[in-house]
Chains A and B, each alone.
Chain A
């Protein structure tokens, strides 16, 4: 099976007047269609930079990135935009919903950029909102009238509305309590059951443990050759990461000792 995401020997270097910052080092990662992959790692390890490259918001300085077999390095800005619009759905930690639009208007927004006729937009937004089980009486509400969990479900509905094959979620449960976070994770599992490929960034090993596999990134390098099959490797990656945190710190929540 050809991987839907295939990044090979990627580097990302940021140049500024202050000097060069080498954020990603020789990163390789392949994700199969329908797979649920969690990317974990401490703050500043390069998770978000990797996510931006996977989401075609940024390009690697060196190395290759094939998305659905397409070499992203060869795409111009308009083509990258098209890939983002049709192939990727983004879910952010801080929801990133537009406060002056209603719930349903937020969900319909990506459809305006893919030239979906106005007559079909509402119907598709309704399907997306039903998929995330947001109550109907909330659809016309302003964003400020929703709880954090509801906001994140709206954000997931927005990511789904163009029916992209890949969902990229950056700390989707980071701003939610554990019960609401569990509901959001349940939504992701349902999406996976529907054939979506999900790449999720998280600090939380408990959340990472829910994925098919977890990949740890540290100091811009994929740790342990990128493949960390589920439970035992997650444990090992947690142990490997211990020197990064203070000696007195408790083991991360959700990690089996």
Chain B
């Protein structure tokens, strides 16, 4: 019997038992839908978190020294370590901004224009970034994140040219950037370091922490070790020093941790879903056994007409696979719809902002996941359909024809 004959026969059989087939595949639908919903949602959250860290997050290194670093230390370090593409001090300060009856916590990040790319604040949505001249002059200009602009002004374009009071002065918004992790009630503003120093009256020329951007393709672990040893040498800090310490950590390790956490979460969800698939598979086996019993006479007729045991096995396997594939496809569809619904709910509720992700989540759609769901469905159909199919094939045709 050809494959097309088997498919046609299987579809005929499903059509003949629509109601029962639909009830039987519910387990498969729920199993596949939960796997798809969770994996696409987790993928979406992961993408959102990585976006909020910036495009260059994986190449970013935070350097900390208990003996604070100055601008000359930073320049010296860049010369000593050629793999450092960009390096600079990132200052930060918190303040409160009130407008009408609303109050916002403002995180002001002091980043010179050459470091905007390194901190992932260079992807413009509207307006422009500030220039080198503005950085050096300490101009009262700032970039706001898209989430912040939406909260304050409703959209990105309306934010341009507006002024915000920060500490004891005002800054003018010249650009809106993508990314950031602004949830309800909090804003992130990027402005030149000189501007922060002027606004907050901080003239301190040294900082405990410095941000660097590694060149593409650098071995991040090796680079961190090199930077640590160079900073120690510059500041005269021994490795076993009890009082002073130096550390260089890359965001890559943070992203790796995030990925492994999400991977573990996916694994747990996968385990839960596989229980549902197991129950679904048992349901399929049960239905197929009932099918075999109900169609004993038909099996006898087919055997008399020239069907081999292999044909009978293939026919029942095709039916169980068709059931599971239908369940799998429905599961994929429902899973994606569920993921979109959950993503919209999570985006609207601001839960994700608290996790550090940007405001919007788009569930990740992957052809590989769909193919995997399809393969799992066929696999369940074959595994759980095999026993009933073999049982049907082993029946004695004479007994089958006698069966009433």
Contact = CB atoms under 8 A, between A and B. Distances in A.
Given A92-B401, A115-B2, A110 B308 contact: no
A222 B305 CA distance: 28
Size class of the A contact interface (CB-based, 8 Å): 20 to 34
Contacts of A162: 306
Contacts, number: 61
A118 B1 CA distance: 11
Nearest to B300: A96
B307 A57 contact: no
A219 to B, nearest CB: 20
Contacts of B401: 57, 92, 96
B305 A110 contact: yes
Nearest to B305: A110
A113 B311 contact: yes
A158 to B, nearest CB: 7
B303 interface: yes
Given A92-B401, A98-B298, A100-B12, A57 B306 contact: no
Contact of A114 (B4, B302, B306): B306
A201 to B, nearest CB: 13
Nearest to B310: A78
Nearest to A164: B306
A58 B399 CA distance: 10
Interface string A88-120: 001010001010110000000110111100100
Contacts of B398: 52, 57-58
Contacts of B397: 57
A98 B301 CA distance: 9
B301 A110 contact: no
A172 B133 CA distance: 104
Given A57-B398, A96-B401, A158-B305, A101 B12 contact: yes
B16 interface: yes
B297 interface: yes
A82 to B, nearest CB: 8
A109 B304 CA distance: 11
A55 B304 contact: yes
Nearest to B15: A100
Contacts of B301: 96, 98
Interface of B: 1-2, 4-5, 12-13, 16, 297-298, 300-311, 397-398, 401
13 contacts: A57-B303, A57-B401, A82-B306, A84-B306, A85-B306, A90-B304, A92-B401, A96-B297, A96-B300, A100-B13, A109-B302, A113-B306, A115-B1
